[in-house]
Amino acid sequence: MFHWDGGLKLTKADLAVDFRRRQPRAFISHAHTDHMARHAYALCTAATAALYHFRLGARPVREMAYHEPIEWGGLRLTAYPAGHCLGSAMLLAEDGRERLLYTGDFKLDAPASCDAAELPQADLLVIESTYGRPDYRLPPRGEVLAELFELLRKTLQRDAVPVIEAYSLGKGQEVTRLLTAEGFRVAQHEQVYQISRIYQSFGVDLGRFTRYRGRIDPETVLIVPPRTRIQFAGRQVRFAVTGWARDERAKYRLRVDHAVPLSDHADYDDLLEAVARVNPRKVFCTHGPESFVDRLCEAGFEAHPLGRPTQGRLF
């Protein structure tokens, strides 16, 4: 039903999935730059289309609504929410004999700024498994947020400016919604702010926030893209919000004062839960350690790593 050609391709429809190089026809699961290119024609959700156009310029697309199947190249294709960022989608492909689910990046916990993930059952599962190691069991979301809020309040009490490094698309808006709901004042870097405007155009309430214009008002948290350095009067305390913060050395590698394990990817236990929900006959793992494949095999699934070792093979 699919093969690997430097990326996943649905064979019958000749449809590339989340390719980073230009393709005649491609499905885009979400608008992070490592999952898309300037394709000749793309399939994606309406929100992903808006973000795709914003980031790469106007491109020919066919918009897909969640849960509404389309017929494409002899396949029946349906998009399901992935819980990763605005417009993010899993793709269910059916050929009349088998059902294949491609997850893309996903998160099982209910997000604050996009639709919660849904996992239909399928015969074949291609799963993104970034955190496929047991040491990436993340703390409960409530505990992580309590830690973040406490650190922010302590920083503000010391008359320092909390600067949170978060991706312009997805994490920046999620953190904004969480902070405004907790009563924090938030300012956003221009790159984050422009994406937030698109979120708002799709009816996503991020609370009250402002655009950073070169000065920080008192008692305000500033959200900037990763590795963005801004000079202003006063002391800065830098935060990273990422699942990689589970590693105690992360703050040194990321060059921040605090690293908080708030992720928009499924952690190790969520990955196992996702496979159990889909209940596939075969599992193919991408973007993760091969040890996760071994773990699935031990649990009774037929599992395979998907990438260079499977170049040219048909499944």
Say whether both 237 and 170 belong to one domain.
Answer: yes
Q: Stretch 273-290: mean pLDDT, rounded?
A: 96
Q: Are 89 and 173 in a shared domain?
A: no
pLDDT for 312 beyond 70 = no
Task: Give the pLDDT of residue 197.
Answer: 98
Q: What pLDDT shows up at residue 41? A: 98
CATH number assigned to the domain comprising residue 221: 3.40.50
φ, ψ at 301 (rounded to 5°): -95, 150
Is 120 in the same domain as 22? Answer: yes
Rounded to the nearest angstrom, the gap between the alpha carbon of residue 77 and the centroid of all alpha carbons in its chain is 21
Predicted TM-score (pTM) of the model is 0.94
Q: Please check the confidence at residue 231 and state whether its pLDDT lies above 90.
A: no
Q: Does residue 11 fall inside a structural domain?
A: yes
Q: Is the pLDDT of residue 310 over 60?
A: no
Contacts of 125 (CB under 8 A, 6+ apart): 100, 101, 103, 275, 278, 280, 282, 283, 284
Task: Tell me if 64 is assigned to some domain.
Answer: yes
Residue 315 lies in a domain: no
Distance CA 217, CA 188 (A): 12
Looking at the structure, do residues 131 and 20 belong to the same domain, yes or no? Answer: yes
Residue type, 56: L
Between residues 314 and 300, which one has the greater pLDDT?
Answer: 300
Q: Indicate if 126 and 27 belong to the same structural domain.
A: yes
pLDDT at 311 over 50: no
Please say which residue of 260, 279, 300 terminates a domain.
Answer: 260
Contact between residue 1 and residue 93 where contact means Cβ atoms under 8 Å apart: yes
Q: Are residues 304 and 198 in the same domain?
A: no
CATH number at residue 34: 3.60.15.10
Q: What percent of the chain has pLDDT over 70?
A: 97
State which of 260, 278, 293 marks the end of a domain. 260
pLDDT band at 308 (very low <50, low <70, confident <90, very high): low
117 and 238 both lie in a single domain: no
146: in domain: yes
* pLDDT classification of 313: cutoffs 50, 70, 90: low
**Structure confidence at residue 232 (pLDDT):** 81
Q: Are residues 68 and 124 in the same domain?
A: yes
For residues 41 and 84, membership in a common domain is answered with yes
Q: Are residues 194 and 235 in the same domain?
A: yes
Give how many domains the chain has, as a whole number: 2
Whether 302 has a pLDDT exceeding 50, the answer reads: yes
Residue 177 belongs to domain spanning: 141-260
The HSE-up count of residue 62 (CA atoms within 13 Å, CB side) is 14
Q: Of 260, 275, 300, which residue constitutes the final position of a domain?
A: 260
Mean pLDDT of 161-175: 97
Residues 183 and 115 both lie in one domain: no
Assess whether 150 and 201 both reside in one domain. Answer: yes
Whether 23 is covered by a domain: the verdict is: yes
- 39-96 pLDDT per residue, tens: 999 999 999 999 999 999 999 999 999 999 999 999 999 999 999 999 999 999 999 9
Average pLDDT, the chain: 95
Q: What is the pLDDT of residue 307?
A: 77
